[in-house]
Amino acid sequence: MRNSTDIMTQSFNSTLVCDRSDIAQQLVEQLSGTMFEVTNQSASLPKLAMKQLEFTGMFILAVRNCDSDMMALIDMLLRQQPMPVVIFTDAYDAQVEKQAIQLGVSAYVVDGLQPHRVLPLLSTARNRFLQQQTMREQVQSLETKLAERKIIDRAKGVLMQQRQCSEDEAYRLLRTTAMNQNMRLAMLAKQVLATANLLETHSHP
């Protein structure tokens, strides 16, 4: 899975699914030579979903009607590879719009496929996606740090009980051992807990 840094440093390209050949040709020509140049194209979303896509910087869906089945396929594609998605559709469907928002679709445009609007919309969608990815990564990082802090606190408790030492002394022992063994503190803490659990299991057959 690629993060926002990968996407910002990759040269952009687009995958286009369009059910009208004239509109598809128009989009391909309009995006040629831009950062959103079309490198993958299909007239059918189900057919595209069966392929193994190369890295795609932008996913563009331009169809007369966007339905729940299409949203399910987009969900599948996004699980394989997070990317900004822009949907152009002629007909408004409140349920589909709600699904698109839940999936994190960057732009859902109804009856707005106008040549002068395409590039600004794609650029805005890309920036919105990158911002959302950055926020997700920050949240994940915070959650990981909190989980690791809990593990370290539990390991300190084990050492305090085993060695009859203070919390500061237990933490210094963990930190010094981790440095000497070139390990992350949280990884060492997990080993301390695993060893303590193993000893407890053997002492209570």
Spell out the domain ranges in the chain.
Answer: 4-113, 142-203
Using CA atoms, how far apart are residues 193 and 195, in angstroms rounded to an integer? 5
Using CA atoms, how far apart are residues 128 and 107, in angstroms rounded to an integer? 9
* Topology match between the domains 4-113 and 142-203: no
Using CA atoms, how far apart are residues 85 and 197, in angstroms rounded to an integer? 47
Q: Does domain 142-203 have CATH number 3.40.640.10?
A: no
User: 127-151, pLDDT tens digit by residue?
Assistant: 999 998 899 899 999 999 999 999 9
Model confidence at 7, pLDDT cuts 50, 70, 90, reads: very low
User: 145-187, pLDDT tens digit by residue?
Assistant: 999 999 999 999 999 999 999 999 999 999 999 999 999 999 9
Residues 6+ apart with CB under 8 A from 11: 35, 57
What pLDDT is recorded for position 187? 94
Look up residue 34 and give its DSSP letter.
S
Residues 6+ apart with CB under 8 A from 152: 171, 174, 185, 186, 189
Q: Is the pLDDT of residue 105 over 90?
A: yes
Architecture of domain 4-113: 3-Layer(aba) Sandwich (3.40)
Predicted structure pTM score: 0.70
Model confidence at 116, pLDDT cuts 50, 70, 90, reads: confident
Q: Nearest CA to 53 among 97, 2, 89?
A: 2
